[in-house]
Chain A
Amino acid sequence: MEFMDFFAITPAELQALWLTFKLAFYTTVILVVFGAPLAWWLAFTESRWESLVSALVALPLVLPPTVLGFYLLIILGPYGWVGGTMEAMGLDHLAFSFTGILIGSVIFSLPFAIQPMREGFASMPRNPIHAAATLGAGPIDRFFTVILPLARGGFFTAIVISFAHTLGEFGVIAMMGGSIPGETKVVSIAIYDYTQGMDYAAAHRLSAILLILSFMILAVFYALNRRFMAPLKL
Protein backbone atom coordinates (compact mmCIF):
# COMPACT_ATOMS: atom_id res chain seq x y z
CA MET A 1 0.00 0.00 0.00
CA GLU A 2 2.76 2.39 0.97
CA PHE A 3 4.69 1.33 -2.13
CA MET A 4 1.74 2.26 -4.36
CA ASP A 5 1.35 5.58 -2.59
CA PHE A 6 4.94 6.35 -3.28
CA PHE A 7 4.36 6.41 -7.01
CA ALA A 8 1.03 8.21 -6.88
CA ILE A 9 2.39 11.21 -8.72
CA THR A 10 0.14 14.25 -8.67
CA PRO A 11 -0.63 16.24 -11.83
CA ALA A 12 1.50 19.13 -10.49
CA GLU A 13 4.48 16.83 -10.08
CA LEU A 14 3.94 15.37 -13.52
CA GLN A 15 3.85 18.88 -14.95
CA ALA A 16 7.20 19.68 -13.28
CA LEU A 17 8.70 16.48 -14.68
CA TRP A 18 7.42 17.20 -18.20
CA LEU A 19 8.73 20.77 -18.03
CA THR A 20 12.14 19.53 -16.90
CA PHE A 21 12.42 17.15 -19.84
CA LYS A 22 11.22 19.80 -22.27
CA LEU A 23 13.87 22.20 -20.95
CA ALA A 24 16.62 19.56 -21.09
CA PHE A 25 15.61 18.54 -24.62
CA TYR A 26 15.57 22.08 -26.05
CA THR A 27 18.78 22.97 -24.24
CA THR A 28 20.55 19.95 -25.69
CA VAL A 29 19.34 20.60 -29.24
CA ILE A 30 20.40 24.25 -29.12
CA LEU A 31 23.79 23.42 -27.61
CA VAL A 32 24.63 20.76 -30.18
CA VAL A 33 23.42 22.68 -33.23
CA PHE A 34 24.92 26.05 -32.32
CA GLY A 35 27.74 24.74 -30.13
CA ALA A 36 29.26 22.50 -32.84
CA PRO A 37 30.52 25.39 -35.02
CA LEU A 38 31.95 27.09 -31.91
CA ALA A 39 33.62 23.83 -30.82
CA TRP A 40 35.04 23.43 -34.35
CA TRP A 41 36.41 26.96 -34.27
CA LEU A 42 37.99 26.40 -30.85
CA ALA A 43 39.52 23.09 -31.97
CA PHE A 44 41.26 24.46 -35.05
CA THR A 45 41.63 28.24 -34.80
CA GLU A 46 45.00 29.86 -34.51
CA SER A 47 43.40 33.15 -33.51
CA ARG A 48 44.77 34.92 -30.46
CA TRP A 49 41.18 35.25 -29.19
CA GLU A 50 41.00 31.48 -28.66
CA SER A 51 42.12 31.61 -25.02
CA LEU A 52 39.65 34.39 -24.19
CA VAL A 53 36.77 32.55 -25.83
CA SER A 54 37.78 29.30 -24.09
CA ALA A 55 37.78 31.09 -20.74
CA LEU A 56 34.37 32.60 -21.46
CA VAL A 57 32.92 29.22 -22.39
CA ALA A 58 34.36 27.63 -19.23
CA LEU A 59 33.06 30.36 -16.88
CA PRO A 60 29.83 28.53 -15.94
CA LEU A 61 32.02 25.74 -14.52
CA VAL A 62 33.41 27.99 -11.80
CA LEU A 63 30.77 30.69 -11.27
CA PRO A 64 28.11 30.08 -8.63
CA PRO A 65 24.85 29.54 -10.53
CA THR A 66 23.41 32.40 -8.48
CA VAL A 67 25.86 34.83 -10.10
CA LEU A 68 24.88 33.66 -13.57
CA GLY A 69 21.20 33.78 -12.63
CA PHE A 70 21.56 37.24 -11.15
CA TYR A 71 23.11 38.75 -14.29
CA LEU A 72 20.60 37.03 -16.54
CA LEU A 73 17.78 38.36 -14.37
CA ILE A 74 19.18 41.87 -14.80
CA ILE A 75 19.78 41.56 -18.56
CA LEU A 76 16.60 39.69 -19.49
CA GLY A 77 14.34 41.49 -17.01
CA PRO A 78 12.08 44.47 -17.91
CA TYR A 79 14.85 47.02 -17.30
CA GLY A 80 17.77 45.07 -18.81
CA TRP A 81 18.95 45.77 -22.33
CA VAL A 82 17.52 42.54 -23.77
CA GLY A 83 14.30 42.51 -21.75
CA GLY A 84 13.88 46.27 -22.08
CA THR A 85 14.34 46.16 -25.85
CA MET A 86 11.78 43.39 -26.13
CA GLU A 87 9.29 45.39 -24.04
CA ALA A 88 9.86 48.38 -26.29
CA MET A 89 9.04 46.18 -29.29
CA GLY A 90 5.74 45.22 -27.65
CA LEU A 91 6.95 41.78 -26.55
CA ASP A 92 7.28 40.42 -23.02
CA HIS A 93 10.59 40.53 -21.19
CA LEU A 94 12.25 37.15 -20.52
CA ALA A 95 12.68 36.94 -16.77
CA PHE A 96 10.34 34.38 -15.12
CA SER A 97 9.56 32.74 -18.48
CA PHE A 98 10.37 29.40 -20.12
CA THR A 99 12.43 31.17 -22.80
CA GLY A 100 14.39 32.89 -20.03
CA ILE A 101 15.27 29.67 -18.20
CA LEU A 102 16.08 28.05 -21.55
CA ILE A 103 18.66 30.79 -22.23
CA GLY A 104 19.97 30.31 -18.68
CA SER A 105 20.23 26.53 -19.16
CA VAL A 106 22.07 26.87 -22.47
CA ILE A 107 24.67 29.14 -20.90
CA PHE A 108 24.88 27.04 -17.74
CA SER A 109 25.57 23.79 -19.70
CA LEU A 110 27.68 25.42 -22.42
CA PRO A 111 31.07 24.04 -21.26
CA PHE A 112 29.61 20.55 -20.90
CA ALA A 113 28.62 20.55 -24.57
CA ILE A 114 31.51 22.49 -26.10
CA GLN A 115 34.37 20.64 -24.42
CA PRO A 116 33.55 17.09 -25.59
CA MET A 117 32.75 18.25 -29.13
CA ARG A 118 35.96 20.24 -29.25
CA GLU A 119 37.96 17.21 -28.11
CA GLY A 120 36.10 15.05 -30.59
CA PHE A 121 37.06 17.36 -33.46
CA ALA A 122 40.64 17.84 -32.31
CA SER A 123 41.31 14.11 -32.01
CA MET A 124 39.92 13.17 -35.43
CA PRO A 125 42.51 11.71 -37.79
CA ARG A 126 42.83 14.31 -40.56
CA ASN A 127 43.78 12.13 -43.50
CA PRO A 128 40.42 10.36 -43.93
CA ILE A 129 38.84 13.82 -44.25
CA HIS A 130 41.39 14.80 -46.90
CA ALA A 131 40.83 11.45 -48.59
CA ALA A 132 37.08 12.08 -48.73
CA ALA A 133 37.77 15.41 -50.42
CA THR A 134 39.95 13.77 -53.07
CA LEU A 135 37.13 11.26 -53.63
CA GLY A 136 34.84 14.14 -54.59
CA ALA A 137 33.06 14.90 -51.31
CA GLY A 138 32.36 18.62 -50.78
CA PRO A 139 32.46 20.28 -47.35
CA ILE A 140 28.85 19.52 -46.29
CA ASP A 141 29.08 15.99 -47.65
CA ARG A 142 32.31 15.51 -45.68
CA PHE A 143 30.74 16.83 -42.49
CA PHE A 144 27.92 14.32 -42.47
CA THR A 145 29.74 11.32 -43.97
CA VAL A 146 33.17 11.57 -42.32
CA ILE A 147 33.51 14.24 -39.65
CA LEU A 148 30.34 13.36 -37.74
CA PRO A 149 31.15 9.62 -37.64
CA LEU A 150 34.76 10.33 -36.64
CA ALA A 151 33.81 12.80 -33.89
CA ARG A 152 30.70 10.89 -32.82
CA GLY A 153 32.09 10.12 -29.35
CA GLY A 154 32.36 13.85 -28.68
CA PHE A 155 28.83 14.50 -29.90
CA PHE A 156 27.42 11.60 -27.89
CA THR A 157 29.08 12.85 -24.70
CA ALA A 158 27.95 16.42 -25.38
CA ILE A 159 24.33 15.31 -25.86
CA VAL A 160 24.10 13.07 -22.80
CA ILE A 161 25.96 15.32 -20.41
CA SER A 162 24.10 18.48 -21.50
CA PHE A 163 20.81 16.69 -21.03
CA ALA A 164 21.70 15.19 -17.66
CA HIS A 165 23.28 18.40 -16.42
CA THR A 166 20.15 20.39 -17.30
CA LEU A 167 18.00 17.92 -15.34
CA GLY A 168 20.01 18.84 -12.26
CA GLU A 169 19.96 22.58 -12.73
CA PHE A 170 18.66 24.65 -9.80
CA GLY A 171 20.46 27.89 -8.93
CA VAL A 172 20.12 29.72 -12.23
CA ILE A 173 16.42 28.92 -12.54
CA ALA A 174 15.74 29.79 -8.90
CA MET A 175 17.32 33.21 -9.44
CA MET A 176 15.74 34.22 -12.73
CA GLY A 177 12.81 31.89 -13.31
CA GLY A 178 11.01 31.78 -10.05
CA SER A 179 8.51 28.98 -9.62
CA ILE A 180 5.70 29.39 -12.12
CA PRO A 181 3.93 26.02 -12.70
CA GLY A 182 4.17 24.90 -16.32
CA GLU A 183 6.50 27.75 -17.17
CA THR A 184 9.55 27.69 -14.90
CA LYS A 185 8.75 25.22 -12.11
CA VAL A 186 11.10 22.38 -12.99
CA VAL A 187 11.60 19.32 -10.76
CA SER A 188 14.51 20.75 -8.78
CA ILE A 189 12.49 23.89 -7.96
CA ALA A 190 9.42 21.82 -7.13
CA ILE A 191 11.45 19.67 -4.70
CA TYR A 192 12.68 22.83 -2.98
CA ASP A 193 9.14 24.21 -2.74
CA TYR A 194 7.75 20.94 -1.35
CA THR A 195 10.49 20.80 1.26
CA GLN A 196 9.85 24.40 2.29
CA GLY A 197 6.13 23.55 2.54
CA MET A 198 6.89 20.43 4.66
CA ASP A 199 5.40 18.12 1.98
CA TYR A 200 8.13 15.54 2.41
CA ALA A 201 6.20 12.77 0.64
CA ALA A 202 6.10 14.78 -2.61
CA ALA A 203 9.74 15.83 -2.22
CA HIS A 204 10.67 12.16 -1.73
CA ARG A 205 8.79 11.10 -4.83
CA LEU A 206 10.42 13.68 -7.12
CA SER A 207 13.88 13.28 -5.60
CA ALA A 208 13.79 9.50 -6.02
CA ILE A 209 12.60 9.80 -9.63
CA LEU A 210 15.36 12.30 -10.46
CA LEU A 211 17.98 10.19 -8.70
CA ILE A 212 17.04 6.95 -10.45
CA LEU A 213 16.68 8.65 -13.81
CA SER A 214 19.99 10.47 -13.64
CA PHE A 215 21.72 7.29 -12.58
CA MET A 216 20.15 5.33 -15.42
CA ILE A 217 21.10 7.90 -18.02
CA LEU A 218 24.72 7.93 -16.86
CA ALA A 219 24.92 4.13 -16.57
CA VAL A 220 23.63 3.67 -20.10
CA PHE A 221 25.97 6.44 -21.29
CA TYR A 222 29.06 4.81 -19.86
CA ALA A 223 28.06 1.37 -21.14
CA LEU A 224 27.48 2.65 -24.69
CA ASN A 225 30.47 4.93 -24.61
CA ARG A 226 32.74 2.06 -23.84
CA ARG A 227 31.34 -0.25 -26.46
CA PHE A 228 30.57 1.95 -29.43
CA MET A 229 32.14 5.33 -29.04
CA ALA A 230 35.81 4.47 -28.75
CA PRO A 231 37.81 6.61 -31.17
CA LEU A 232 38.30 4.89 -34.52
CA LYS A 233 41.99 4.58 -35.08
CA LEU A 234 43.48 2.71 -37.99
Chain B
Amino acid sequence: MLEFNLQHRYPGFDFQTGDVQLPSDGITAVFGPSGCGKTTLIKTLSGLEKAQGWVKLNHQAWQSDRLFLPVHQRRIGMVFQDAALLPHLSVQGNLDYALKRSGFERSQHRPQQDRWIELLNLGNLLNQSVLTLSGGQKQRVGITRALLSNPQILMLDEPMSALDWRTKNELIPLIKEVSKASKLPILLITHSPEEVERLADQVLLLNQGRVEQLESLQQTLSRPDSPLFDEQGAVSVLIGQPGKVSDGLQQIQVGDNTLWVKPLKRANQEPVRIRVLARDVSLALSDPKDLSIVNHMPVKIDELIEQPDHRLLVRLRLDNQQHLFAEITQQSAKRLNLQPGLVVYALIKSVALAE
Protein backbone atom coordinates (compact mmCIF):
# COMPACT_ATOMS: atom_id res chain seq x y z
CA MET B 1 0.00 0.00 0.00
CA LEU B 2 1.35 3.39 -1.01
CA GLU B 3 0.47 6.20 1.36
CA PHE B 4 1.54 9.79 1.07
CA ASN B 5 0.90 13.41 1.81
CA LEU B 6 3.03 15.77 -0.25
CA GLN B 7 3.23 19.51 -0.67
CA HIS B 8 5.29 21.34 -3.22
CA ARG B 9 5.18 24.99 -4.15
CA TYR B 10 6.43 26.55 -7.37
CA PRO B 11 5.86 30.11 -8.38
CA GLY B 12 2.28 30.07 -9.66
CA PHE B 13 1.59 26.45 -8.71
CA ASP B 14 0.57 25.03 -5.37
CA PHE B 15 0.65 21.24 -5.11
CA GLN B 16 -1.01 19.61 -2.08
CA THR B 17 -2.19 16.04 -2.14
CA GLY B 18 -3.63 15.70 1.36
CA ASP B 19 -3.55 12.20 2.90
CA VAL B 20 -3.82 9.56 0.17
CA GLN B 21 -3.84 5.77 0.49
CA LEU B 22 -3.54 3.74 -2.69
CA PRO B 23 -4.62 0.09 -2.73
CA SER B 24 -1.91 -2.55 -2.78
CA ASP B 25 -2.86 -4.09 -6.09
CA GLY B 26 -4.62 -3.30 -9.32
CA ILE B 27 -4.17 -0.33 -11.61
CA THR B 28 -4.73 3.15 -10.25
CA ALA B 29 -5.00 5.75 -12.98
CA VAL B 30 -3.80 9.24 -12.12
CA PHE B 31 -5.95 11.40 -14.34
CA GLY B 32 -6.26 15.11 -14.88
CA PRO B 33 -5.81 17.87 -17.45
CA SER B 34 -2.31 19.03 -18.31
CA GLY B 35 -0.85 21.24 -15.62
CA CYS B 36 -2.89 19.51 -12.89
CA GLY B 37 0.21 18.11 -11.18
CA LYS B 38 0.49 14.60 -12.63
CA THR B 39 4.18 15.02 -13.39
CA THR B 40 4.83 16.67 -10.05
CA LEU B 41 3.11 13.77 -8.31
CA ILE B 42 5.21 11.10 -9.98
CA LYS B 43 8.46 13.06 -9.57
CA THR B 44 7.91 13.77 -5.90
CA LEU B 45 6.63 10.24 -5.14
CA SER B 46 9.66 8.67 -6.78
CA GLY B 47 12.11 11.09 -5.20
CA LEU B 48 13.30 12.54 -8.50
CA GLU B 49 12.16 15.83 -7.01
CA LYS B 50 12.08 16.76 -3.36
CA ALA B 51 8.79 17.88 -1.81
CA GLN B 52 7.58 18.50 1.73
CA GLY B 53 5.64 15.75 3.47
CA TRP B 54 5.84 11.99 3.79
CA VAL B 55 5.64 8.85 1.66
CA LYS B 56 5.32 5.23 2.83
CA LEU B 57 5.22 2.04 0.80
CA ASN B 58 3.96 -1.06 2.59
CA HIS B 59 4.68 0.68 5.89
CA GLN B 60 8.30 1.39 4.97
CA ALA B 61 9.05 5.11 5.03
CA TRP B 62 10.45 6.58 1.80
CA GLN B 63 10.19 10.09 3.08
CA SER B 64 9.43 11.62 6.45
CA ASP B 65 10.51 14.60 8.52
CA ARG B 66 13.91 13.06 9.13
CA LEU B 67 14.36 10.84 6.12
CA PHE B 68 14.58 11.13 2.36
CA LEU B 69 15.40 7.91 0.56
CA PRO B 70 17.11 8.63 -2.79
CA VAL B 71 15.43 7.26 -5.91
CA HIS B 72 17.83 4.34 -6.27
CA GLN B 73 16.83 2.96 -2.86
CA ARG B 74 13.07 3.14 -3.40
CA ARG B 75 12.52 0.03 -5.56
CA ILE B 76 10.25 1.69 -8.11
CA GLY B 77 9.71 0.18 -11.52
CA MET B 78 9.37 3.34 -13.56
CA VAL B 79 8.26 3.41 -17.18
CA PHE B 80 8.85 6.75 -18.87
CA GLN B 81 6.89 8.49 -21.59
CA ASP B 82 9.86 8.19 -23.96
CA ALA B 83 10.85 4.79 -22.45
CA ALA B 84 14.20 6.31 -21.38
CA LEU B 85 16.16 3.27 -22.48
CA LEU B 86 19.92 3.46 -22.04
CA PRO B 87 20.88 4.38 -25.61
CA HIS B 88 24.42 3.00 -25.43
CA LEU B 89 23.23 -0.52 -24.60
CA SER B 90 21.37 -3.21 -26.50
CA VAL B 91 17.95 -4.46 -25.42
CA GLN B 92 19.65 -7.26 -23.48
CA GLY B 93 22.08 -4.71 -22.03
CA ASN B 94 19.17 -2.67 -20.73
CA LEU B 95 17.58 -5.74 -19.14
CA ASP B 96 20.91 -6.79 -17.61
CA TYR B 97 21.35 -3.30 -16.19
CA ALA B 98 18.15 -3.82 -14.20
CA LEU B 99 18.89 -7.44 -13.24
CA LYS B 100 22.38 -6.63 -11.91
CA ARG B 101 20.91 -4.13 -9.49
CA SER B 102 17.72 -6.04 -8.70
CA GLY B 103 18.84 -7.98 -5.67
CA PHE B 104 17.70 -11.21 -7.35
CA GLU B 105 20.02 -14.18 -6.83
CA ARG B 106 22.24 -14.67 -9.87
CA SER B 107 20.53 -18.01 -10.54
CA GLN B 108 17.19 -16.19 -10.70
CA HIS B 109 18.24 -13.84 -13.50
CA ARG B 110 17.49 -16.19 -16.41
CA PRO B 111 14.12 -17.44 -15.15
CA GLN B 112 13.01 -13.89 -14.30
CA GLN B 113 14.03 -12.63 -17.71
CA ASP B 114 12.43 -15.57 -19.55
CA ARG B 115 9.19 -15.07 -17.68
CA TRP B 116 8.76 -11.44 -18.70
CA ILE B 117 10.22 -11.48 -22.20
CA GLU B 118 7.72 -14.17 -23.06
CA LEU B 119 4.78 -12.17 -21.74
CA LEU B 120 5.96 -8.97 -23.43
CA ASN B 121 7.11 -10.78 -26.55
CA LEU B 122 10.68 -9.48 -26.66
CA GLY B 123 12.40 -12.74 -27.60
CA ASN B 124 13.61 -11.70 -31.02
CA LEU B 125 14.64 -8.17 -30.02
CA LEU B 126 17.23 -9.00 -27.36
CA ASN B 127 20.34 -8.40 -29.44
CA GLN B 128 19.08 -5.27 -31.16
CA SER B 129 20.37 -1.81 -30.38
CA VAL B 130 17.63 0.15 -28.65
CA LEU B 131 18.16 2.92 -31.21
CA THR B 132 16.48 0.79 -33.89
CA LEU B 133 13.28 -0.01 -31.95
CA SER B 134 9.82 1.31 -32.76
CA GLY B 135 7.85 3.28 -30.18
CA GLY B 136 5.81 0.28 -29.05
CA GLN B 137 8.88 -1.95 -28.84
CA LYS B 138 10.68 0.63 -26.73
CA GLN B 139 7.82 0.70 -24.24
CA ARG B 140 7.74 -3.09 -24.07
CA VAL B 141 11.48 -3.09 -23.29
CA GLY B 142 10.92 -0.28 -20.76
CA ILE B 143 8.18 -2.26 -18.98
CA THR B 144 10.25 -5.46 -18.97
CA ARG B 145 13.28 -3.60 -17.65
CA ALA B 146 11.20 -2.07 -14.86
CA LEU B 147 9.84 -5.50 -13.88
CA LEU B 148 13.33 -7.03 -13.83
CA SER B 149 14.52 -4.44 -11.32
CA ASN B 150 12.45 -6.32 -8.73
CA PRO B 151 10.21 -3.38 -7.86
CA GLN B 152 7.56 -3.06 -5.18
CA ILE B 153 5.42 -0.76 -7.30
CA LEU B 154 5.20 0.15 -10.98
CA MET B 155 4.82 3.76 -12.05
CA LEU B 156 3.91 4.28 -15.69
CA ASP B 157 4.33 7.90 -16.71
CA GLU B 158 2.10 8.44 -19.78
CA PRO B 159 3.58 5.36 -21.46
CA MET B 160 1.24 5.54 -24.45
CA SER B 161 1.00 9.25 -25.16
CA ALA B 162 3.61 9.06 -27.91
CA LEU B 163 2.14 5.97 -29.59
CA ASP B 164 -0.30 5.65 -32.48
CA TRP B 165 -3.67 4.00 -31.80
CA ARG B 166 -2.69 0.65 -33.28
CA THR B 167 0.36 0.34 -31.05
CA LYS B 168 -1.68 1.58 -28.12
CA ASN B 169 -4.22 -1.16 -28.74
CA GLU B 170 -1.44 -3.72 -28.56
CA LEU B 171 0.07 -2.31 -25.40
CA ILE B 172 -3.12 -1.92 -23.33
CA PRO B 173 -3.82 -5.68 -22.98
CA LEU B 174 -0.14 -6.22 -22.16
CA ILE B 175 -0.30 -3.74 -19.30
CA LYS B 176 -3.35 -5.59 -18.01
CA GLU B 177 -1.47 -8.91 -18.22
CA VAL B 178 1.50 -7.40 -16.40
CA SER B 179 -0.80 -6.19 -13.64
CA LYS B 180 -2.31 -9.64 -13.25
CA ALA B 181 0.95 -11.58 -13.47
CA SER B 182 3.09 -9.32 -11.29
CA LYS B 183 0.43 -8.58 -8.65
CA LEU B 184 2.21 -5.25 -8.19
CA PRO B 185 0.31 -2.05 -7.54
CA ILE B 186 0.46 0.04 -10.71
CA LEU B 187 0.22 3.80 -10.91
CA LEU B 188 -0.71 4.83 -14.46
CA ILE B 189 -0.32 8.52 -15.22
CA THR B 190 -2.47 9.50 -18.16
CA HIS B 191 -4.52 12.28 -19.70
CA SER B 192 -6.45 9.89 -21.93
CA PRO B 193 -9.97 8.99 -20.68
CA GLU B 194 -9.92 5.98 -22.96
CA GLU B 195 -6.83 4.53 -21.27
CA VAL B 196 -8.47 5.04 -17.89
CA GLU B 197 -11.69 3.34 -19.01
CA ARG B 198 -9.86 0.40 -20.51
CA LEU B 199 -7.29 -0.17 -17.77
CA ALA B 200 -8.04 1.43 -14.44
CA ASP B 201 -9.49 -0.25 -11.38
CA GLN B 202 -9.28 2.96 -9.36
CA VAL B 203 -9.00 6.55 -10.46
CA LEU B 204 -7.13 9.32 -8.68
CA LEU B 205 -8.45 12.60 -10.01
CA LEU B 206 -6.05 15.53 -9.90
CA ASN B 207 -7.03 19.10 -10.53
CA GLN B 208 -4.96 22.25 -10.04
CA GLY B 209 -2.49 20.52 -7.77
CA ARG B 210 -5.14 18.91 -5.55
CA VAL B 211 -6.34 15.31 -5.26
CA GLU B 212 -10.06 15.66 -5.91
CA GLN B 213 -11.12 12.03 -5.66
CA LEU B 214 -9.77 8.55 -5.22
CA GLU B 215 -12.54 6.16 -6.20
CA SER B 216 -13.36 3.11 -8.29
CA LEU B 217 -13.67 3.49 -12.06
CA GLN B 218 -17.39 2.68 -11.81
CA GLN B 219 -17.88 5.49 -9.30
CA THR B 220 -16.04 7.98 -11.51
CA LEU B 221 -18.11 6.93 -14.51
CA SER B 222 -21.43 7.11 -12.66
CA ARG B 223 -21.24 10.89 -12.24
CA PRO B 224 -22.77 12.77 -15.17
CA ASP B 225 -20.10 15.47 -14.88
CA SER B 226 -17.22 12.99 -14.65
CA PRO B 227 -13.92 14.55 -15.74
CA LEU B 228 -13.39 11.44 -17.86
CA PHE B 229 -16.10 12.60 -20.26
CA ASP B 230 -14.53 14.57 -23.09
CA GLU B 231 -15.83 15.71 -26.46
CA GLN B 232 -17.28 12.22 -27.03
CA GLY B 233 -19.68 12.83 -24.14
CA ALA B 234 -20.60 10.41 -21.37
CA VAL B 235 -19.18 6.89 -21.46
CA SER B 236 -20.19 3.71 -19.64
CA VAL B 237 -18.03 0.68 -19.04
CA LEU B 238 -19.95 -2.60 -18.66
CA ILE B 239 -18.26 -5.68 -17.31
CA GLY B 240 -19.29 -8.98 -18.84
CA GLN B 241 -18.33 -12.61 -19.19
CA PRO B 242 -17.24 -13.79 -22.66
CA GLY B 243 -19.22 -16.73 -24.05
CA LYS B 244 -19.54 -18.52 -27.40
CA VAL B 245 -18.87 -17.12 -30.86
CA SER B 246 -21.60 -17.64 -33.44
CA ASP B 247 -22.20 -16.06 -36.85
CA GLY B 248 -18.98 -14.09 -36.42
CA LEU B 249 -20.14 -12.43 -33.23
CA GLN B 250 -18.98 -12.99 -29.70
CA GLN B 251 -21.48 -13.37 -26.88
CA ILE B 252 -20.82 -11.35 -23.78
CA GLN B 253 -23.00 -12.08 -20.80
CA VAL B 254 -23.84 -8.94 -18.80
CA GLY B 255 -26.10 -10.00 -15.96
CA ASP B 256 -29.11 -11.74 -17.53
CA ASN B 257 -28.56 -10.01 -20.84
CA THR B 258 -26.40 -10.97 -23.76
CA LEU B 259 -24.48 -8.49 -25.86
CA TRP B 260 -23.02 -9.34 -29.24
CA VAL B 261 -19.64 -7.89 -30.13
CA LYS B 262 -16.72 -8.46 -32.49
CA PRO B 263 -14.92 -11.67 -31.46
CA LEU B 264 -12.11 -11.36 -28.90
CA LYS B 265 -8.60 -11.52 -30.32
CA ARG B 266 -7.61 -14.24 -27.90
CA ALA B 267 -9.69 -16.81 -26.08
CA ASN B 268 -10.40 -15.41 -22.68
CA GLN B 269 -12.26 -16.70 -19.65
CA GLU B 270 -11.76 -13.54 -17.64
CA PRO B 271 -14.40 -10.82 -17.46
CA VAL B 272 -14.00 -8.19 -20.17
CA ARG B 273 -14.84 -4.50 -20.35
CA ILE B 274 -17.24 -3.10 -22.89
CA ARG B 275 -17.11 0.60 -23.56
CA VAL B 276 -20.35 2.27 -24.62
CA LEU B 277 -20.76 5.93 -25.59
CA ALA B 278 -23.96 7.48 -24.23
CA ARG B 279 -24.73 8.97 -27.63
CA ASP B 280 -24.75 5.44 -29.10
CA VAL B 281 -27.58 4.39 -26.77
CA SER B 282 -31.24 5.00 -27.71
CA LEU B 283 -34.30 4.24 -25.64
CA ALA B 284 -37.61 2.53 -26.52
CA LEU B 285 -40.70 1.86 -24.40
CA SER B 286 -41.10 -1.69 -25.73
CA ASP B 287 -38.57 -4.24 -27.00
CA PRO B 288 -38.40 -3.62 -30.76
CA LYS B 289 -38.14 -6.85 -32.73
CA ASP B 290 -37.93 -5.47 -36.24
CA LEU B 291 -34.68 -3.54 -35.98
CA SER B 292 -31.17 -4.03 -37.30
CA ILE B 293 -29.57 -3.11 -33.96
CA VAL B 294 -28.63 -6.41 -32.29
CA ASN B 295 -27.98 -5.23 -28.77
CA HIS B 296 -31.04 -4.34 -26.68
CA MET B 297 -31.74 -4.95 -23.03
CA PRO B 298 -34.29 -3.92 -20.42
CA VAL B 299 -33.07 -1.23 -18.03
CA LYS B 300 -34.56 0.91 -15.30
CA ILE B 301 -34.30 4.71 -15.40
CA ASP B 302 -32.35 6.00 -12.41
CA GLU B 303 -32.08 9.67 -13.13
CA LEU B 304 -32.68 12.25 -15.86
CA ILE B 305 -29.96 14.88 -16.07
CA GLU B 306 -30.50 17.97 -18.21
CA GLN B 307 -27.62 18.92 -20.49
CA PRO B 308 -26.96 22.00 -22.59
CA ASP B 309 -28.41 22.22 -26.13
CA HIS B 310 -31.74 20.57 -25.19
CA ARG B 311 -30.02 17.28 -24.56
CA LEU B 312 -30.74 14.89 -21.75
CA LEU B 313 -28.46 12.35 -20.08
CA VAL B 314 -30.37 9.34 -18.75
CA ARG B 315 -28.71 7.17 -16.14
CA LEU B 316 -29.96 3.61 -16.50
CA ARG B 317 -29.56 0.62 -14.23
CA LEU B 318 -29.09 -2.93 -15.51
CA ASP B 319 -30.51 -5.98 -13.75
CA ASN B 320 -27.09 -6.66 -12.17
CA GLN B 321 -26.80 -3.10 -10.83
CA GLN B 322 -24.26 -1.92 -13.43
CA HIS B 323 -25.16 1.44 -14.87
CA LEU B 324 -25.37 2.74 -18.40
CA PHE B 325 -25.77 6.27 -19.75
CA ALA B 326 -27.98 7.19 -22.70
CA GLU B 327 -27.91 10.60 -24.32
CA ILE B 328 -31.20 11.64 -25.98
CA THR B 329 -33.01 14.91 -26.74
CA GLN B 330 -35.29 16.49 -24.17
CA GLN B 331 -38.02 16.41 -26.76
CA SER B 332 -37.83 12.59 -27.05
CA ALA B 333 -37.93 12.27 -23.28
CA LYS B 334 -41.10 14.34 -23.17
CA ARG B 335 -42.68 12.39 -26.00
CA LEU B 336 -41.93 9.05 -24.32
CA ASN B 337 -42.80 10.50 -20.91
CA LEU B 338 -39.61 9.13 -19.35
CA GLN B 339 -39.56 9.14 -15.55
CA PRO B 340 -37.19 7.74 -12.92
CA GLY B 341 -38.23 4.18 -12.02
CA LEU B 342 -39.64 3.41 -15.47
CA VAL B 343 -38.40 0.24 -17.21
CA VAL B 344 -37.39 0.87 -20.82
CA TYR B 345 -35.28 -0.82 -23.47
CA ALA B 346 -31.78 0.40 -24.21
CA LEU B 347 -30.72 0.00 -27.84
CA ILE B 348 -26.96 0.05 -28.19
CA LYS B 349 -25.85 1.02 -31.67
CA SER B 350 -22.20 0.32 -31.19
CA VAL B 351 -20.08 -1.25 -28.50
CA ALA B 352 -16.34 -1.47 -28.24
CA LEU B 353 -14.56 -4.21 -26.40
CA ALA B 354 -11.99 -2.58 -24.19
CA GLU B 355 -9.63 -5.54 -24.34
Contact = CB atoms under 8 A, between A and B. Distances in A.
A52 B142 CA distance: 42
Given A134-B149, A135-B101, A135-B149, A233 B87 contact: yes
B80 interface: yes
B180 to A, nearest CB: 23
Interface in B73-109: 73-78, 80, 82-88, 97-98, 101-103
A99 B160 CA distance: 58
Contact of A130 (B84, B103, B138, B142): B84
A229 to B, nearest CB: 12
Interface string B253-278: 00000000000000000000000000
A145 B86 CA distance: 9
Most chain B beta-carbon neighbours within 10 Å: one of A136, A142, A145, A232: A136
Given A136-B102, A232-B88, A234-B85, A131 B131 contact: no
B86 A138 contact: no
A138 B101 CA distance: 10
B101 A137 contact: yes
Contacts of A133: 48, 70-72
B98 to A, nearest CB: 5
Nearest to A127: B84
B102 A131 contact: no
A149 B149 contact: no
A234 B85 CA distance: 8
A146 interface: yes
A234 B138 contact: yes
B71 A130 contact: yes
Given A133-B70, A133-B71, A135-B97, A125 B87 contact: yes
B85 A135 contact: no
Given A128-B87, A132-B86, A145-B97, A234 B76 contact: no
B130 interface: yes
A20 to B, nearest CB: 34
Interface string A130-165: 111111111001100110011000000000000000
A202 to B, nearest CB: 47
Contacts of B80: 127, 130-131
A132 to B, nearest CB: 7
Interface in A198-234: 232-234
Contacts of B48: 130, 133
A128 B149 contact: no
Contact of A136 (B46, B72, B138): B72
Nearest to A131: B84
Contacts of B76: 134
Given A136-B102, A232-B131, A234-B138, A131 B72 contact: no
A149 B78 CA distance: 22
B145 interface: yes
A43 B340 CA distance: 66
B275 to A, nearest CB: 32
Contact of B88 (A127, A130, A149): A149
Given A136-B103, A232-B131, A233-B87, 15 more contacts: A125-B87, A130-B80, A131-B142, A132-B97, A133-B70, A134-B46, A134-B72, A134-B149, A135-B97, A135-B149, A136-B98, A136-B101, A137-B97, A141-B72, A232-B87
Query: Nearest 6 CB-CB pairs, A to B?
Result: A136-B101, A127-B84, A232-B87, A131-B84, A134-B78, A133-B71
6 contacts: A128-B86, A130-B48, A133-B71, A142-B72, A232-B87, A234-B130
